[in-house]
């Protein structure tokens, strides 16, 4: 592994190459834009640096290289980091990408910009109730259990439309539903076509919701090992950890 700076450059190069090969004219941006009105979904792509288990010093090193969007898995660890980086807060976007229990929703509603892992109406309702009025609406994605295993978190595809419509009906000044997120089963050694399949499924689920009138523009999919496959299937938010910060 190189430095955080050279790793970031390498990841961006991978993203650019993947866009070229997929014939995708997406602009790599430093923050997820607000809900795109008029713009085609997928016209921008945000690289989320997943900083779980790494300290505020690693986040600062990435900020120095122009990285502004960060993903965290563990609420308490994230709150400590967000607190340590108060001076940088205004330029950063913090995304929760790990599981969220209902006893942690208040802290999350107060500290984060995005939550990717909503899979129950109860959690979304609490986030809406607890989002401070002075802040921009919390941006939400629904986590979909794309491989359908009982052990995994995420809403099942069959239950997704009802949940999406219910979350979209929550007060828009507090929470805004933006799209879908998934964590496919790792497929070591899988070929490109196999890697694309779960991402293709998530894109089709998003398109079905759009066809039913929901204004959604976000596909949070793709990690260090499969970002090319996710870019090819229209990812708008890549969550990349180890390729930037090193092995955990
Ligand atoms: C850890 C994690 C990532 C980043 O994984 P890497 O393989 O390190 O890129 C992305 N998404 C979620 C939900 C994670 O927990």
For position 189, what pLDDT does the model report? Answer: 82
Closest to 59 in 3D by CA, of 46, 75, 72, 73: 72
Hey, which of 50, 96, 119, 180 would you mutate to test ligand 1's pocket, going by the most ligand atoms within 8 Å of its Cβ? 50
Query: What average pLDDT does range 104-118 have in this prediction?
Result: 98
* 212 Cα to the center of ligand 1, angstroms: 30
For position 151, what pLDDT does the model report? Answer: 60
Residue 79: CB within 6 Å of ligand 1? Answer: no
The predicted-structure confidence for 142-201, as pLDDT tens digits, reads as follows 999 998 776 678 999 999 999 999 999 999 999 999 999 999 988 878 888 999 999 999
Closest to 180 in 3D by CA, of 214, 212, 205: 205
For position 37, what pLDDT does the model report? Answer: 62
| Euclidean distance between CA atoms 176 and 116, whole angstroms | 12
**What single string gives the DSSP state of each residue in 39-82?**
SPTTSEEEEEEE-TTS-HHHHHHHHHTT--EEEES-HHHHHHHH
* CATH class of the domain at 4-29+39-245: alpha beta
Query: What are the residue ranges spanned by the domains of the chain?
Result: 4-29+39-245
For position 38, what pLDDT does the model report? Answer: 62
For the range 24-27, what are the long-range contacts, defined as Cβ-Cβ under 8 Å and sequence gap of 24 or more?
24/231, 24/232, 24/234, 26/231, 26/236
The predicted-structure confidence for 43-75, as pLDDT tens digits, reads as follows 899 999 999 999 999 999 999 999 999 999 999
Band of pLDDT at residue 134, cut at 50, 70 and 90: very high
| Euclidean distance between CA atoms 164 and 140, whole angstroms | 10
Residue 240: CB within 6 Å of ligand 1? Answer: yes
The predicted-structure confidence for 197-237, as pLDDT tens digits, reads as follows 999 999 999 999 999 999 999 999 999 999 999 999 999 99
| Euclidean distance between CA atoms 65 and 20, whole angstroms | 24
Residue for token pair 């792509």? 45
Residue 224: CB within 6 Å of ligand 1? Answer: yes
Hey, which of 67, 71, 74 would you mutate to test ligand 1's pocket, going by the most ligand atoms within 8 Å of its Cβ? 71
| Euclidean distance between CA atoms 158 and 35, whole angstroms | 26
Query: What average pLDDT does range 70-93 have in this prediction?
Result: 98
Q: Strand pairing partners for 106?
A: none
């Amino acid at each position: 592994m190189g430095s955080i700076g050279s790793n970031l450059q390498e990841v961006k190069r991978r993203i650019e190459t993947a866009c070229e090969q997929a014939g995708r004219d997406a602009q790599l941006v430093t923050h997820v834009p607000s809900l795109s009105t008029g713009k085609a979904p997928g016209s921008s792509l945000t690289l989320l640096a997943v900083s779980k288990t790494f300290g505020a010093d690693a986040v600062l090193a990435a900020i120095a290289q122009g990285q502004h969007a960060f993903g965290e898995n563990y609420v308490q660890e994230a709150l400590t980091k967000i607190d340590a980086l108060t001076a940088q807060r205004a330029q950063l976007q913090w995304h929760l990408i790990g599981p969220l229990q209902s006893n942690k929703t208040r802290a999350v509603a107060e500290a984060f910009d995005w939550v990717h892992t909503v899979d129950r109406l109860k959690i979304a309702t609490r986030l809406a109730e607890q989002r401070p009025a002075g802040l921009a609406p919390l941006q939400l994605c629904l986590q979909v259990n794309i491989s359908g295993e009982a052990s995994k978190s995420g809403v099942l595809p069959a239950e997704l439309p009802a949940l999406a419509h219910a979350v979209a009906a929550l007060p828009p000044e507090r929470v805004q539903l933006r799209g879908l997120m998934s964590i496919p089963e790792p497929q070591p050694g899988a070929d490109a076509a196999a890697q694309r399949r779960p991402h293709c499924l998530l894109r089709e689920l998003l398109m079905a919701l759009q066809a039913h009138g929901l204004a959604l523009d976000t596909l949070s999919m793709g990690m260090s090992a499969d970002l090319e496959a996710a870019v090819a299937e229209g990812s708008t938010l890549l969550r990349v950890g180890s390729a930037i910060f090193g092995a955990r």
